[in-house]
Amino acid sequence: MSEIGLTIFRIVFILSFVLLLIPILVLLERKISAFIQDRPGPNRTNIAGIRLGGIVQALADALKLAIKEDFTPKGIRSKFLFVLAPMVLFLMSVLSIAVVPFSDYYTINGVKHIMQAVAFDGGMLWYLGVASLSVYGIMLAGFASNNKYSLLGSLRAASGVISYEIPMGLAVVSMMITYSSINLNDFVSYQQDSFLGLPAWGIFIQPLAAIIFIVCAFAETNRAPFDLAEGESEIVAGYHLEYSAMSFAMFFMAEYIAMTAMSALIVTIFFGGYSLPYLSTSDLVQNYEIVLLGIAVFISLFGAVFIFWTYKNNVTRYKTTYDKRKRENKFYLISTLITVILIDAICFYLYNSGLTTQGSKFLALVVDMSVFSIKTLIVLFLFIMVRWSIPRFRYDQIGHLGWEKLMPLAILNIIITALVVTYGN
C-alpha cells in the first residue's frame, strides 16, 4: 500500500463509516424505541419480500427526503444563512471525527503513518475546537428562519453550550494529565497496559472524569435528555422547524454523525480505543496465526447465533397461509453461510501459507478497525437506550447541573489527578 493509497484509504474509511452507519442507527433508534414501548417497529417495507430487519424502511425514508421539494419559506431573514446553517452543522460533525484514530500507526518504508482521516497530532484539541463550532449551525438556522420557535431553539442551544462545554473540557484536561499527551493515539497506547489487574482503560483509572465527560457528551450531541434545542412538546421542532427535504436531512444526518464521532471519542479516551484488552499491535503482528484462528472462530459463532436468532424471531405473529419471512430467512441463511465460509477459507489459507511482515501488519490493521467499530457501536447503543429511558431536562436544570455539579467535580478531579501524577511517580 503506497502512501497516497493509505491517505485515500483513511479518508474513505472514516467517511464510509459515518455515512453507512446512519441507516443502521436510524433502524436501531426505531427498534429500541419500539421495544421499550412494546410495539414491533418498522417491519413492512421490503424489496421482493426482503426487509433486512427494517433497513429497507430507512432507505425508503432517505429516498423520500431526496426527492421531496426543498421548500424555502417567505419572510426568512437571510436566504444565504438559511442555506448555510445545515452545511455548517453537517461539516463540523464530519470534521470532528476526522482526528479519531481507528488503528495504530501503519509503517510504510520505515515511516509511521497515523491512521486518522486528518493527520494531526493534537487530536484532542482539534476535536474540542471543531465540535464547539457545530452550535453555530444551530444558531444560524434559528436566526435565519425568522420563526419564534426556531429562535427559541437556537437560544436554548446557546445556553446549553455554556453549561456543558466547560465541564467537558475540564474532564479532558484531567485525562491529558493522566496520559501526558494531547495525541489521541498516545491515549490508546497508554490503555494497552494493565491497572490493578484490569485493563488500563480510562474508565477504570478516571471513573469520575468518565462520568462527567459522558454526561456532557449527550448534551454536546443534542441527544435526549439534553435535546432542549428541539423540544417537540414546547417549541414544535426547534431550530430546524422551517427546513424540509435535504436541508432537514442534513440536520438529521449531522446529529447521527456527531453521535458517532462522540462515541468514537469516548471509546478512544475511556475504553481502550482500537486495542483489545492487554494486547498491543505488536502482539497481534507477532502472533498472527492465533489472530487468524480467533477470527475464524468468532465469525463462525457469530454466524451460527445470527441464523438461530433470525429463525426464532423473524416470524409473523399472525396466522397466514404464506409468510414472506420464510423466504427472507432462507436469504439470511444462504448469505450468512457464504460469508462465514469465505472468511474462514481465507483465514485458514493465510494460516497455512503464512504471512509476510507487511501482511501481518495489515491483518493487525483490520483487527484494530474491527475492534474500533464494535466498541463504537456499543456506545452508540447506550446513546439510543438513554434517549428512550430518561425524560428531557429543562434548560435551567442543565445550567444548574453544569455549573453547580459537574464543574466543581471536574475541578476537584483535576487537582487530585495533578497531585497523584506529580507525587505518585
Q: Give me the pLDDT at residue 59, please.
A: 85
Q: Give me the pLDDT at residue 209, please.
A: 93
The answer to whether residue 40 is domain-embedded is yes
Q: Nearest Cα to 314, choosing from 324, 301, 305, 304? A: 324
The answer to whether residue 307 is domain-embedded is no
State the maximum Cα–Cα separation within the chain, in Å, rounded to a whole number: 75
Cell reading at 356 = 509476510
| DSSP code string of 175-217 | HHHHHT-S-HHHHHHHTTSEETTEE--HHHH-HHHHHHHHHHH
Q: Is the pLDDT of residue 408 over 90?
A: yes
Q: Which residues contact 47 (CB under 8 A, 6 or more apart)?
A: 56
The answer to whether residue 341 is domain-embedded is no
Neighbours of 229 (CB within 10 A): 27
Using the structure block, give the residue that is written with the C-alpha cell 473540557.
Answer: 169
Separation CA 157–CA 155 (nearest Å): 5
The answer to whether residue 323 is domain-embedded is no
Per-residue burial over 392-423, b if 16 or more Cβ lie within 10 Å, else e, is bbebeebbebbeeebbebbeebbeebeeeeee
Q: Give me the pLDDT at residue 141, please.
A: 87
pLDDT average, residue stretch 286-294: 90
Coil, helix or strand for 45? coil
Full domain range(s) for residue 111? 3-278+356-424
Q: Nearest Cα to 350, choosing from 282, 288, 297, 307? A: 288
Q: Give me the pLDDT at residue 320, please.
A: 67
Q: Is the pLDDT of residue 353 over 80?
A: yes
pLDDT average, residue stretch 351-360: 86
pLDDT average, residue stretch 224-242: 78
Pairing outcome for strands 111-113 and 194-195 = unpaired
Separation CA 371–CA 267 (nearest Å): 10
pTM of the model: 0.90
Q: Give me the pLDDT at residue 218, please.
A: 86
CA 403 to chain centre: 27
Q: Give me the pLDDT at residue 122, please.
A: 79
User: For the CA atoms of 47, 50, 55, 60, what is the dihedral angle to 10 degrees?
Assistant: 10
DSSP category for residue 391: P
Model pLDDT for residues 55-68, shown as the tens digit of each residue: 888 888 888 888 88
Q: Give me the pLDDT at residue 267, please.
A: 95
Q: How confident is the model at residue 249 (pLDDT cuts 50, 70, 90)?
A: confident
Region of residue 236 (left: phi > 0; alpha: psi -120 to 50; beta: else): left
Amino acid of residue 113 = H
Model pLDDT for residues 190-209, shown as the tens digit of each residue: 998 888 888 889 999 999 99
Separation CA 326–CA 319 (nearest Å): 13
145, 79 in Cβ contact below 8 A? Answer: no
Q: Give me the pLDDT at residue 339, please.
A: 93
The answer to whether residue 286 is domain-embedded is no
Mean pLDDT rounded to a whole number for the chain: 86
pLDDT average, residue stretch 280-302: 90
Q: Give me the pLDDT at residue 303, please.
A: 92
Burial zone of 26 (CB within 10 Å; 0-12 exposed, 13-18 middle, 19+ buried): buried
The answer to whether residue 39 is domain-embedded is yes
Using the structure block, give the residue that is written with the C-alpha cell 454523525.
Answer: 257
pLDDT average, residue stretch 277-302: 89
Q: Which of 155-164, 356-365, 366-375 has the highest mean pLDDT?
A: 366-375
Q: How confident is the model at residue 375 (pLDDT cuts 50, 70, 90)?
A: very high
Separation CA 237–CA 243 (nearest Å): 10
- What angle is formed at CA 29 by the lines to CA 24 and CA 34, rounded to 5 degrees? 125
More confident residue, 234 or 294: 294
Q: Is the pLDDT of residue 224 over 80?
A: no
Q: Give me the pLDDT at residue 36, please.
A: 85
The answer to whether residue 134 is domain-embedded is yes
Separation CA 3–CA 82 (nearest Å): 40
User: Alpha carbon of 202 to those of 29, 205, 340: distances in Å?
Assistant: 28, 5, 35
The answer to whether residue 46 is domain-embedded is yes
User: Alpha carbon of 308 to those of 314, 330, 339: distances in Å?
Assistant: 10, 12, 16
Number of domains in the chain: 1
More confident residue, 88 or 108: 88
- What angle is formed at CA 331 by the lines to CA 325 and CA 333, rounded to 5 degrees? 105
In the chain, the percentage of residues whose pLDDT exceeds 90 is 24
In the chain, the percentage of residues whose pLDDT exceeds 70 is 97
Phi, psi of 326 (to 5 degrees): -65, -40
Q: How confident is the model at residue 425 (pLDDT cuts 50, 70, 90)?
A: low
Model pLDDT for residues 312-331, shown as the tens digit of each residue: 777 766 676 666 677 788 88
Model pLDDT for residues 134-185, shown as the tens digit of each residue: 888 888 888 888 888 888 888 888 887 888 888 999 999 999 999 988 889 9
306 forms beta bridges with none
Q: Give me the pLDDT at residue 205, please.
A: 92
Q: Give me the pLDDT at residue 323, please.
A: 66
Model pLDDT for residues 15-46, shown as the tens digit of each residue: 889 888 888 898 888 888 888 888 878 877 87
Q: Give me the pLDDT at residue 57, please.
A: 86
